[in-house]
Structure 1
Amino acid sequence: MSTATDTSRPAADVELRVDLGAAPGRLTLDNPVMTASGCAANGPELHRFFDVRELGAFVTKTVMREPRSGRGTPRMAETPSGMLNSIGLQGPGIAAFVDTDLAWLAAHGARVLVSIAGGTGTEFAEVAATLAASEHVDSVIGVEVNISCPNVANRGQVFACDPGASARVMTLVREALPRDTPIIAKLSPDVTDIVDIASACLKAGASGLTMINTTLGMVVDLDRMRPQVAGVTGGLSGPAVRPIAVRAVWQVASAMREGRLPPAPIIGVGGIRTGRDALELIAVGATAVQVGTATFNDPMAPVRVRDELAEELARRGYASVRNAVGAALT
C-alpha cells in the first residue's frame, strides 16, 4: 500500500523513449535497450524468442569487408564471473551481410545499428560505403564503429588505444556515409585515459560513444597447462566487467558535464543482467544500454531488462528514463 512519502508509480507509466541526439528522429528509440554486438548474431536467432521490433535497436555482429572464418577452436572459455571469447570477428563480409542479414532485419521491421570494423582505416570506410549503398539502408539508424580491433597497418596495435588512429577511422567513416547518418564509436577499456580517446573520436565526427567493449583476459586450462582458448587471450565480458563499464561511462560523462568534452550520447554496455544493472549505467550518464553476454543463458534477457528497468525507475518515482540519465553525477 502506498504511503504519504511513497514516490513510486506504476511501471507502465514510465516513459522509456530516448533520443540519442543525432538527426531529428533518426536515433529516437522506443526504449533504451539494445542487443550488444556479437552476442545475438544478426536477428533470426533471437527472433525465435521475441519480436526484434521490441528492442530500442538491434546491434549486429561486427561485419568486415571480406568474409572471415575467425580464429581456431576452442574460442570460448567460462570464468567464475563472465566469459572469455576469442572468436576473431567471424562473419560473411559486408556484401553478403547487406544482401542477407540486413535484408532480413529490414523485412522484420527492426531498427538496426550496424557494427563495422576493418584492419585499416580505408577498410572501415569501404565497409561503410557498401552499407550506405544498400537498398536496405533505410532500416539502419546508425553505424557503430568497432575501433577495438587490431590495426594491421600499425603492427597490430588496437585503433582504440591511440587517439590519432581512432580519429582517422572516424573521419574516414564519416566521409563514407551521408552526413545525417549517426556514427557511434565503440571504445575499449584497455587504455590509460578513455577520456582522451573519446575526445579524439568526437572531434573527428563521432555522433556518440558506446562504452565499453570487452577487456583483454586469459584463462589457463590446468589439466593441459595450456591457454584454454586457441588465440591465447580473448575478450572478457559479463558481470566482472560491469564496474569497469560504470567507471568508464562516469569518467566520460563527467568530462562532458565539466565542459572538457562536447556533449554526446553514451550507450552503456558491459555485464548488464538486470534492470538494476542497466539503471546503474544510466545513472552515471548512459542514455541507452546494450545487453550482451546475458543472452547466452537467457535469450529473453534484453526484453526482461527493459521491463525490469521500467520497474526500477517507477520504484524510484521517475516519470521518464531521461530524468535518470546522469543522476549520480550531481
Structure 2
Amino acid sequence: MNQPKLVHFSDKDLDGESCFLLSRLAFPSREMDLRGVTPYTVNQEVQRFLEEELSREMDVVITDVSVNEEVAALIQKKVKQGHSLRLIDHHPTALPLAASYDWANVIIEDSGKKTSATSLYYAYLVNQGLLAPSGVLSDYVELVRSFDTWDWDASGNIRANQLNLLFYMVERNVFVQDVISRLREDGPDQDQFVFNEVESVLIYTEEKRMDEFEQKKLKQMKHVEVEIDLAKTRTFQVGVVFLEQYHSTTGNFLCKNDEQIDFVAMLDPGKGRISFRTIKDDVDLAVIAQHYGGGGHPKASGCSFTGVTMKAFVYPALQVHTSQR
C-alpha cells in the first residue's frame, strides 16, 4: 500500500532546513514535497495550499514556523474533515496555537534545555518509530539546537556556530547531500558529526572574514532612542545597522560590544525585514516583535518593514547618519 505524499513546510534557516533533512532520512522512499517558507510568507503559502492543493492522499507537516489565527482555523477545519496536519514549533509566540489545537505541538523548553524545531521533530520521529536514532544523528541535531537557541555561546561548543557558517557558505543541494550521506553512516566511530578537510578550510577562512565584518558593522551601527508602548511605555536604546546576513552571530557581537544599547535592530531592505537581537534579560524581543506584527524568541526575533517600523527604526537611523556626516 502506497504511503500518502508528505508535504512539509519549514523555515529556510539551518533549523528549518534540518527538519527537511530528518524527513528525507525518515522517509527515503516516500514521495515528498519540501517547501521552504519564512515567518513572513508562511501564512500566505499554507493558506493557498490548503485551499487549492490539499487532498486526502497527503500528510502535511509544518516545522519551525507558526501560522496566524485565520490559517489555524482553516487547518482545524481540514483536520475535522479527516486530513492529516501537524505543526511543530518552538517559538514562544506560537504557544497560543498549542493551547487551542491538538495538531499544534509547541514546546519552548524540555528537560532544562531550550528546544529547536529540529530537536522536537527528531524526538517526534523517534518516538513514533519512524526514525532510528544514532550517535552521529543525535550529535547533528544537538549542534543545530545549540546554535538556534544560542546555547553554544555559553557552552563553548563552537562546532554549532561552524555548522551554521558552512550552511550559508555551501550551495544548498551540496550541503544537503553531504550531510545526509554522513548522517546515514552509523558505527562505533560515527558518534560525532565531523567536518571534512575542505569544509574545515572554508570555515576557518570565513571565521577570519567574519571578524573583520563584525568590526565594520560595529563602527556603522547608529544609536537611536525608540519609545515602544507595551504594557507600559518604555524608551529603548537601540543600535540600528543595515545588515543582510549573519544576523545571529553579528547581532550577538554588536550587543556584547556596546553596553549602551538594549537591543540591536538589523535592517535588511532587500528582504524588507528587521531582525532584533539582545543579550539583556529585561528585554523581551518576542513581545517587541509581536508589537510590530512579527514574532520570535525573547532574545531573537524579527518583523517586516511597515510604515510603523520604518518610522521607528529606519528613518531615525538615516537622520543620525546624515547629522554625523
TM-score range, shorter chain: under 0.3
What is the TM-score when the length of structure 1 is the normalising length?
Answer: 0.25
Task: Determine which structure has the larger helix proportion and give its number.
Answer: 2
Larger radius of gyration: 2
Q: With a CA cutoff of 8 Å and minimum separation of 6, indicate the structure with the bigger relative contact order.
A: 1
